[in-house]
Chain A
């Protein structure tokens, strides 16, 4: 049996949920971190997650796929993923029908990313403050709107709020 056919048999279709496709190979753990999939486990939510790694891809050669049953990933989280993995695609499945979402680099990101500058006011626990970044798309940087600190797109997963 050819490899793609073997891989197809690994996981069956889902009727409700999200499929995140075109993740670069062996990077599913980063996607999982950005989407805070561990939070689902902490919430003991009734969802199943399947992570496929290093499967054959026409476009990428090899890729990872994440299937989340009974859970729709927030589009804003998908947009954050796009900062690191611009090729990524998100398929929402409702009653077996697939609708594609192409994540886009957002103009601003609020609340989801922590400022890397520990002395930033947005990292002060007792103040009612929400972190806010604007994206400098050409430079592939986020800039904190409080302290102006820069954060490279590739480092964003390390600073996602958990």
Chain B
């Protein structure tokens, strides 16, 4: 039997900043293997316990982790949102983690509204912690899902021009994806109104990595050159002036009209759920990669759990 993968064994996944290119690639290739039936992971973690602590409601992240854990043969415990849990009674993250550690959890999967919650949890337990999103900071496993969707569409990530559109400041998936992409030879363009441009710490990190993204205000100015368009929603309440929101929202809606100059090979990604920023016009075109992207969440999370908990190789 081969030795377990020491890059991942027992490690926390609390930020995409913590991972290097070869580690991302290892995950992507393991998902390739799983998807092409070169190895099954069903039952690989039989008898282990996954604690899913979702202090904020979630549909697809919760479900994909739950199904991934169950397919791996794990038992699943925890809660899918604050309702009906002791969180409503004011139980802290710290105490909840300690309690589930006592119950024998082998891995924590945590979503929380506070930025840095996953890192704090990881400091307070010896059990690996996977962030399923913390406030508007990061969503590192979604970044891996996003990378996989790009890798699957193009067979590579290097050499691509990636546009990231919408609420980059408060969108946790965008920052994690930007961190992840900084490991590859890509051209990044941030497309957002000024108030919703990427947070300074993200730009600072990219600068340290030698990546200087372009910033643009409108999709129409850059659509023609892009290989990948990563769309996120602009929430009305994020823009202080309602008239400003009405003015800018059209600039960030993706539909056949706004993509009229796009390359035929363009792939549109979206972490979902969408509201009105991504038109259903796109769904049946070759641009749409978001359902493929969402489907990748399951095998990717299986692979990640398997790597962290030292299951089957």
Contacts and interface: CB of A to CB of B under 8 A. Distances in A.
Interface of A: 117, 119-122, 124, 126-129, 136, 139, 141, 143-150
B-side binding surface: helix, strand, loop or mixed? mixed
Contacts of B50: none
A147 B92 contact: no
A121 B120 contact: yes
A126 B114 CA distance: 13
B136 interface: yes
A119 B136 contact: yes
A146 B201 contact: no
Interface of B: 15, 17, 90, 92-94, 112-117, 119-120, 134-137, 199-201, 204-205
Q: Which of B90, B114, B199, B205 has the most CB of A within 10 A?
A: B114
Closest 7 pairs between A and B when the two form their complex, measured CB to CB: A146-B116, A147-B115, A147-B116, A121-B114, A121-B116, A148-B201, A121-B120
Contact of A119 (B90, B94, B113, B200): B113
Nearest to B138: A148
A122 B136 CA distance: 15
Given A126-B90, A126-B92, A147-B135, A119 B114 contact: yes
A129 B204 contact: no
B112 to A, nearest CB: 8
Contact of A121 (B90, B117, B136, B199): B117
A117 B169 CA distance: 13
A-side binding surface: helix, strand, loop or mixed? loop
A158 B275 CA distance: 39
Contacts of B204: 136, 139, 141, 150
Given A119-B136, A148-B137, 6 more contacts: A120-B114, A121-B93, A126-B90, A127-B93, A129-B94, A144-B116
29 contacts: A119-B113, A119-B115, A119-B136, A120-B116, A121-B93, A121-B114, A121-B115, A121-B116, A121-B119, A121-B120, A121-B134, A122-B120, A127-B93, A127-B94, A128-B92, A129-B120, A139-B204, A141-B204, A143-B201, A145-B119, A146-B119, A147-B116, A147-B135, A148-B15, A148-B116, A148-B201, A149-B115, A149-B199, A150-B201
A122 B123 CA distance: 13
A145 B120 CA distance: 9
A139 B205 CA distance: 12
Contacts of A122: 116, 120
Nearest to B207: A139
Nearest to A139: B204
A150 B114 contact: no
B15 to A, nearest CB: 8
Contacts of B136: 119
